[in-house]
Amino acid sequence: MSRPIDTTHDPNLRSWVESANHKDTDFPIQNLPFGVFRPRSSAEPSRIGVAIGDQILDLSLCCQLGLLQELPEQLQAACAAPNLNQLMAMGREATSMLRRHLSQMLRSQEQIPPSADEILVPMSEAELLLPAHIRDYTDFYASIFHATNVGKLFRPDNPLLPNYKYVPIAYHGRASSIVPSDTAIKRPKGQIKKPEAPAPSFQPTQMLDYELEVGFLIGAGNELGLPIPIDYAEEHVFGLCLVNDWSARDIQAWEYQPLGPFLAKSFATTISPWVVTMEALAPFRCPAFERAEGDPLPLPYLSSSDNAKFGAIAITLEVLLCSVQMRTARMEPFLLSRGSFQQMYWTVAQMLTHHSSNGCNLSPGDLLASGTVSGTEKTSQGCLLEMTQRGVQPVKLPTGEIRSFLLDGDEVILRGYCEKDGYARIGFGECRGVVLSAG
Ligand code: CA
pLDDT tens digits along 399-432: 999 999 999 999 999 999 999 999 999 999 999 9
Q: Under DSSP, is residue 231 helix (H, G, I), strand (E, B) or coil?
A: helix
Between 76 and 4, the higher pLDDT residue: 76
Q: Any residues with CB less than 8 A from the CB of 278 and at least 6 apart, and which?
A: 3, 92, 95, 234, 237, 238, 239, 240
Task: Report CA 39 to chain centroid distance, whole Å.
Answer: 24
- pLDDT band of 113, cuts 50, 70, 90: confident
Q: Of 9, 101, 146, 236, which is the active-site residue? A: 146
Predicted confidence at residue 17, as pLDDT, reads: 97
Measured in Å, residue 140 CA sits from the centre of ligand 1 at 7
Predicted confidence at residue 361, as pLDDT, reads: 98
Residue pair 21/57 in contact by the 8 Å Cβ criterion: no
Measured in Å, residue 245 CA sits from the centre of ligand 1 at 5
Residue 146 to residue 307: CA distance in whole angstroms? 22
| Residue 232 φ then ψ, to 5° | -105, 0
pLDDT tens digits along 116-144: 889 999 999 999 999 999 999 999 999 99
Predicted confidence at residue 112, as pLDDT, reads: 86
pLDDT tens digits along 235-275: 999 999 999 999 999 999 999 989 999 999 999 999 999 99
Measured in Å, residue 371 CA sits from the centre of ligand 1 at 4
Measured in Å, residue 269 CA sits from the centre of ligand 1 at 9
Measured in Å, residue 186 CA sits from the centre of ligand 1 at 18
- pLDDT band of 204, cuts 50, 70, 90: very high
Residue 407 to residue 318: CA distance in whole angstroms? 20
Residue 255's H or E segment, with its range, is helix 249-255
Judged against a pLDDT cut of 90, whether residue 109 lies above it is answered with no
**By C-alpha distance, which of 136, 300, 164, 96 is closest to 224?**
136
Q: Under DSSP, is residue 417 helix (H, G, I), strand (E, B) or coil?
A: strand
Judged against a pLDDT cut of 90, whether residue 229 lies above it is answered with yes
Predicted confidence at residue 179, as pLDDT, reads: 98
Residue pair 83/45 in contact by the 8 Å Cβ criterion: no
Residue pair 350/1 in contact by the 8 Å Cβ criterion: no
Residue 53's H or E segment, with its range, is none
Measured in Å, residue 249 CA sits from the centre of ligand 1 at 11
- pLDDT band of 66, cuts 50, 70, 90: very high
Residue 19 to residue 27: CA distance in whole angstroms? 9
What is the share, in percent, of the chain residues with pLDDT greater than 90?
Answer: 94
Residue pair 67/80 in contact by the 8 Å Cβ criterion: no
Q: Which residues of 329-357 are buried (b: 16+ CB within 10 A; e: fewer)?
A: eeeebbebbbbbbbbbbbbbbbbbbbbbb
| Beta partners for residue 384, in sequence order | none
- pLDDT band of 154, cuts 50, 70, 90: confident
Q: Is 354 a catalytic site residue?
A: no
Judged against a pLDDT cut of 80, whether residue 1 lies above it is answered with no
pLDDT tens digits along 17-46: 999 999 999 999 999 999 999 999 999 999
Residue pair 173/369 in contact by the 8 Å Cβ criterion: yes
Say which range, 81-85, 90-94, 151-155, 431-435, has the weakest mean pLDDT: 151-155
Measured in Å, residue 376 CA sits from the centre of ligand 1 at 18
